[in-house]
Structure 1
Amino acid sequence: MHNATVIALRTVATILILATFVPLLPFEAWYIRIFDFPRSQIFVLAAFTLLIFLVLRWWRYGIDKILIPGLVASLVFEAVNIYPYTFLSPVQVQQAPADAPADGQLSILVSNVYQHNVEHQLLIDLIQEHSPDILLTLETDSIWQKGLRPATDSFPERVAIPLSNTYGMHLYSKLPLRQTRTRYLLEEEVPSIKTYVQLRNGVWVELHAVHPKPPVPTEDDDSKTRDAEIVLVGKEVKGSDYPVIVAGDFNDVAWSHTTTLFQKVSGLLDPRIGRGFYNTFNAKYKLLRWPLDHVFHSDHFKLVKMERLPHINSDHFPILAILSFAPENKYEQEEPQPDEDTAEEAAETIEEGKEEAQEEDD
């Protein structure tokens, strides 16, 4: 085989191995954290590369004696990470029975619209088709607020935060809201929403809407503030006396260390586990997609339906979740459990994020 091809294959193998294990380093720099995202892509590429090595019988030669075990380790590690989001895994959230009471159900549609997208009608059509109880839109400015009115006029409750910095947020509800607060947990220009929504059966549910900054050079050089906001919300809802839903664009994947820490801290469940990836980003590139938009909830709920909705010309697909309030069966579902290091790690994550945000303000 041509030397250039051999070098190329070995280079690819080395990159895949590094990409797998670099995120284990205790650093929050964007060029480290970015490798949390493409776990499924790395798995496929590592499997293909390993197959080539085996077909060519390279396990007998020099550096290949290191690269092949490295690729095997990469495959195993990536498989462990993505396994829960395949149909091979047991579900974390039980399926609601067909006769679940309608007055205990809540449908929520989450859509990061991409602020510069002008195809308002595509989202309007989806809202009118699915008629959710709760609509959460992200990256919505005043233009989007006006553009969606043909659909949002049917929502009597509204929380509008129109911003032109791509962190605008709008929450629309057909159900009553109370004690609604717009909050800026760590950064002045990045809002979140906390409110309580009343189901048709009279039960009040604590709802959080979030959209922290991503760890990319154009936004944040590291993931400290993102991680801190996610974990801060998780810590807050753990002490809630109400059923809880946390929804939004976390700018983090479901299997990352930070989102896993969020689940351990909050005890919230992920309805995707055992059902699929529900990749919402990037809608424009089929081979580069991962789950960034989330709907987590307490064990008071079971799942009626979860669906990734059609493309609306955004870089995100909208996602729809329909939950059923089922408190009498809540203990059938096992909450993510903290380990002995969870509280300390959560406190450190929050403190580092606050310090980072303070330095940016100064």
Structure 2
Amino acid sequence: MKNAAVIALRTVATILIIATFVPLLPFEAWYIRIFDFPRTQIFVMAALTLLFFLGMRLWRFGLDKILLMGLVASLVFEAVNIYPYTFLSPVEVKQAPADAPADGQLSILVSNVYQHNVEHQLLVDLIQERNPDLLLTLETDSIWQEALRPATDAFPERVTIPLSNTYGMHLYSKLPLRQTRIRHLLDEEIPSIKTYVQLRNGVWVELHAVHPKPPVPTEDDDSKKRDAEIVLVGKEVKRSDYPVIVAGDFNDVAWSNTTLLFQEVSGLLDPRIGRGFYNTFNARYKLLRWPLDHVFHSDHFKLVKLERLPDINSDHFPMMATLSFAPENKYEQKEPQPDEDTAEEAAETIKEGKEEAQEEDD
């Protein structure tokens, strides 16, 4: 029995070490990129496995010494990745003062509804309760569009893209919109939205809504197009003369190389840093959750409130962020800085994504 337990422990340790470091390989295949996601789960399992190793005194053997060092390395590596999203880290986005002007605030509710979810009323009730300025819904088809009318009729501005391929997208606004464009950056089946929204104080804000395909066998065999779309938006907003918000389901976690590259390229801030994980997927499995739904913004804003909202019977929890326009204090917040490899990495990411899209079109 003890021998079987030792073999099982060694097997688990080997799997955890591989799962930790395989995402460092320069490959975009789904079975590589999928290990970007469960950083927290790997950290916890590696810690437990290390305790068992120590408890069973397995460090006395040559192979086990290597596994022990590998587990320690895994713990350190995963801790470095997830540390910014814990309360131990300094916040990246400053808290807005309690007396921040109301006419400079903007609230946005982002919800991937899961297209086949039939509990429409749960989201209707949530929208009416939270009363956001902007509502972004993802995976919304014509059925969802109609079902949400009791709540969305209160939004005079709207951008509707009802699709039945799980990539429908709807943007509703109580604030004025202008220069709205529906775009297909790399895939004719995958829309995104670019628009400008006017705050109550008259300031115009550039808004991007995105939902690229995830790297899973049923969608894309690799992450090239997802990564390219995210970085393309990042490059575009960096050139903007406006305050910027980018929101949506990235189908990528906050700590992945691609999302970090997006931040370096765009200079946008992540309000979760220093506040928590805000895991939005998978709502159905408590032990398998990570942050896929994001609201990034330029340093023109401070944070009033960030919330993961209640379950709506989707596989995603909705997210809601309330931001305060505070340009006079923008330099209090440090933008993510590109390093010497950022431009080259971004160019290569975009090139690979475009080449893959072209191959699929051909």
Q: Which TM-score band (shorter chain)?
A: over 0.9
One-letter amino acid of the counterpart of residue 117, structure 1: N
Residue 81 (structure 1) aligns with: 81
Aligned counterparts of 1:19 and 1:345: Cα–Cα separation in 2: 23
Give the CA deviation at 1:5: 1.3
Residue 330 (structure 1) aligns with: 330
Report SS of the residue matched to 1:178.
Answer: strand
Aligned counterparts of 2:154 and 2:358: Cα–Cα separation in 1: 40
One-letter amino acid of the counterpart of residue 313, structure 1: N
Aligned counterparts of 1:62 and 1:92: Cα–Cα separation in 2: 44
Overall identity of the aligned pairs, in %: 89
Residue 170 (structure 2) aligns with: 170
Residue 100 (structure 2) aligns with: 100
TM-score with structure 1 setting the length: 1.00
Residue 211 (structure 1) aligns with: 211
Residue 7 (structure 2) aligns with: 7
Report SS of the residue matched to 2:178.
Answer: strand
Aligned counterparts of 2:361 and 2:314: Cα–Cα separation in 1: 31
Aligned counterparts of 1:40 and 1:323: Cα–Cα separation in 2: 28
Residue 359 (structure 2) aligns with: 359
Structure-to-structure mapping, 1:176-195, within 5 angstroms: 176-195=176-195
Residue 49 (structure 2) aligns with: 49
Aligned counterparts of 1:114 and 1:104: Cα–Cα separation in 2: 32
Report SS of the residue matched to 2:62.
Answer: coil
Aligned counterparts of 2:360 and 2:36: Cα–Cα separation in 1: 25
Give the CA deviation at 1:292: 0.0
Residue 349 (structure 1) aligns with: 349
Aligned counterparts of 1:360 and 1:41: Cα–Cα separation in 2: 35
Give per-residue Cα distances to partners, 1:14-58, cap 9 Å, x unaligned: 000000000000000000000000000000000000000011111
Give the CA deviation at 1:282: 0.1
State the number of aligned residues: 362
Report SS of the residue matched to 2:283.
Answer: coil
Structure-to-structure mapping, 1:1-362, within 5 angstroms: 2-362=2-362
One-letter amino acid of the counterpart of residue 91, structure 2: V
Q: What runs of 5+ residues in structure 1 fail to find an aligned partner? A: none
Give the CA deviation at 1:360: 1.0
Give the CA deviation at 1:214: 0.1
Aligned counterparts of 2:91 and 2:28: Cα–Cα separation in 1: 31
Give the CA deviation at 1:329: 0.2
Aligned counterparts of 1:62 and 1:5: Cα–Cα separation in 2: 18
Give per-residue Cα distances to partners, 1:205-254, cap 9 Å, x unaligned: 00000000000000000000000000000000000000000000000000
Aligned counterparts of 1:65 and 1:291: Cα–Cα separation in 2: 34
Aligned counterparts of 1:235 and 1:340: Cα–Cα separation in 2: 16
Give per-residue Cα distances to partners, 1:135-191, cap 9 Å, x unaligned: 000000000000000000000000000000000000000000000000000000000
Give per-residue Cα distances to partners, 1:269-294, cap 9 Å, x unaligned: 00000000000000000000000000
Aligned counterparts of 2:354 and 2:168: Cα–Cα separation in 1: 22
One-letter amino acid of the counterpart of residue 328, structure 2: E
One-letter amino acid of the counterpart of residue 60, structure 1: R
Give per-residue Cα distances to partners, 1:281-324, cap 9 Å, x unaligned: 00000000000000000000000000000000000000000000
Give the CA deviation at 1:2: 2.2
One-letter amino acid of the counterpart of residue 40, structure 1: T
Aligned counterparts of 1:53 and 1:162: Cα–Cα separation in 2: 53
Q: What runs of 5+ residues in structure 2 fail to find an aligned partner? A: none
Aligned counterparts of 1:317 and 1:279: Cα–Cα separation in 2: 8
One-letter amino acid of the counterpart of residue 181, structure 1: R
Give the CA deviation at 1:4: 1.6
CA RMSD of aligned residues (A): 0.5
